Amino acid sequence: MSLTQLNNMNNFSANYEKILETLQDFESKMNFLNQIRKPKLSDIELIAIDLTSEYMSIDSEYQLFRSLPDELYCRIERSVYNRRKRKLFPHRELLRKKLAGQISSSDYYIVDSIPLEVCKLSWSTRSRICKEDYQMTPNNGYCASQANNYYGYKLHAVCTIDGVFTDFDLTKVSVHDIHYLKDIKSMYTYCIILGDKGYLSIDYQRDLFSSNQIRLEVPMRKNQKGYKPQAFIFRKSRKRIETLFSQLCDQFMIRRNYAKSFDGFKNRILSKIMALTVIQLINKLNNKNINNLKLGLHKCTTGVGNIFSGQVVGETAKNLSERFGKVLQKRQSMTINRQDTSTSINTQLDSLIPASKISNLTQGMFVGAVSDNFDERIDQKIFHAQIVIDNDAVKAETSNYVPIPQIVIS
């Protein structure tokens, strides 16, 4: 096993433990499916593995099972993992809504949609992806924001003004955005919903307000009679959902599709949205900006007092070097020319333990830092040390070992 794979497994374990701890804080049940035999890997642990892979941008199950630590890899097979994850869809959605309710609650919401391409338009006639059920079959449509035609689905979503997804749905491309307001009518009351010009309809606005006291704020078209520009605070706030869609496309790669069935496709979408929600919750619990997704778990897993490390490379070595800090070092340089020789001495802040040194530690060498208590102060908290081994004593001990007898069954 290479050092890169080992570091990936260590990072996966740290992120997995933090996500699992967060899920267990808000959900006491370990298993949601009624199974005759108790599984080695509980349902909540399976959900935590799925969310960890999405956070770390591991977008295929093949790559996921290559990155799993041994203690998790031996507890579930890849095919069983896929089947159980699909069966857990309704339970995962309920858990996602429960977590979203812990982050933000508001009377202001934002609605918008994003295109999700299943395959290239030229392949749509011979592609069999998501065509097992006629009602769920994708179709062709036009995306006005990107000014192109595509083949796939449309993701409709509602988020709070803080940027937390509360509800979402998948429809065919041919379904107009305005029809999603019928679902909103049955889910929300006494609130204000911000939308773009795609939701502009006087009839729907009146119906939402008269039935559920929902005020739909939509900008008017410039050629519309009685045109008035929308308030700046509404125009600025509506951009929050566009930022969320950009984060889903960038970090969680929501537009990349490996699914062959609609059941697998909707599970992929739920996993990515749920992973985003969990990272937002962890940021809130740590008093961080909830929408700072890329550093959400990084700050949680690196905020520890005691560190012991042997040879590591890459990003892990760089993070350790930054954790140990810098020290003021004296530098001397000498310049020689035809006439005279000049010497300059200056000071410069350099890494106390450079990443290059951590990457080249030999066996028995290690670096680290320790924390102290109020009554037990430690002046020297950072160390670079070596484990001293008496090789002669080890050799003498191993020489007295008795070989394991061979048992032959005739």
- 84-98 pLDDT tens trace: 999 999 999 999 999
pLDDT over 70 at 286, yes or no: yes
Residue 406: count other Cβ atoms within 10 Å of its Cβ: 5
- The continuous run of DSSP H or E covering 359 comes out as helix 355-359
* Proportion of the chain above pLDDT 90, given as a percent: 38
pLDDT over 70 at 195, yes or no: yes
* Averaged pLDDT, 383-403: 83
Paired tokens of 222? 């410039």
pLDDT band at residue 304, thresholds of 50, 70 and 90? Answer: low
pLDDT value for 84: 94
Whether the CB-CB separation of 168 and 272 falls below 8 Å is answered with no
- The string of pLDDT tens digits covering residues 237-248 is 889 999 999 999
* Averaged pLDDT, 139-167: 90
* Proportion of the chain above pLDDT 70, given as a percent: 94
Q: Which residues neighbour 308 within 8 Å (Cβ) at sequence distance 6 or greater?
A: 366, 368
pLDDT value for 94: 95
Domain boundaries, the chain: 3-87, 103-271, 307-325+353-397
Whether the CB-CB separation of 358 and 312 falls below 8 Å is answered with yes
Of the given ranges (147-151, 197-201, 270-274, 308-312), which has the lowest mean pLDDT? 308-312
Q: Alpha-carbon distance 316 to 297, whole Å?
A: 14
pLDDT over 70 at 300, yes or no: no
* Averaged pLDDT, 251-276: 92
Compute the mean pLDDT over every residue in the chain, rounded to the nearest whole number. Answer: 85
Q: Alpha-carbon distance 24 to 26, whole Å?
A: 5
Strand order in the sheet with 307-309: 307-309, 365-369, 382-386
Q: Alpha-carbon distance 50 to 351, whole Å?
A: 37
Q: Alpha-carbon distance 316 to 322, whole Å?
A: 10
Whether the CB-CB separation of 33 and 90 falls below 8 Å is answered with no
Q: Which of 113, 137, 135 is nearest to 127 (CA)?
A: 137
pLDDT over 90 at 318, yes or no: no
More confident residue, 296 or 56: 56
The model carries a pTM of 0.73
pLDDT value for 9: 52
- The string of pLDDT tens digits covering residues 39-81 is 999 999 999 999 999 998 888 888 899 888 888 899 999 999 9
Per-position b or e across 32-68, b if 16+ CB within 10 A of its CB: beeeeeebebbbbbbbbbbbbbbbbebbebeebbebb
Phi and psi at 249, nearest 5°, equal -75, -35
Residue type at 360 in one-letter notation:
N
Q: What is the DSSP letter of 288?
A: S
Q: Alpha-carbon distance 129 to 118, whole Å?
A: 7
- Thinking of the domain 103-271, which architecture would CATH place it in? 2-Layer Sandwich (3.30)
pLDDT value for 1: 45
Question: H-type helices in 40-165, by residue range?
Answer: 43-55, 61-67, 70-73, 78-87, 89-103
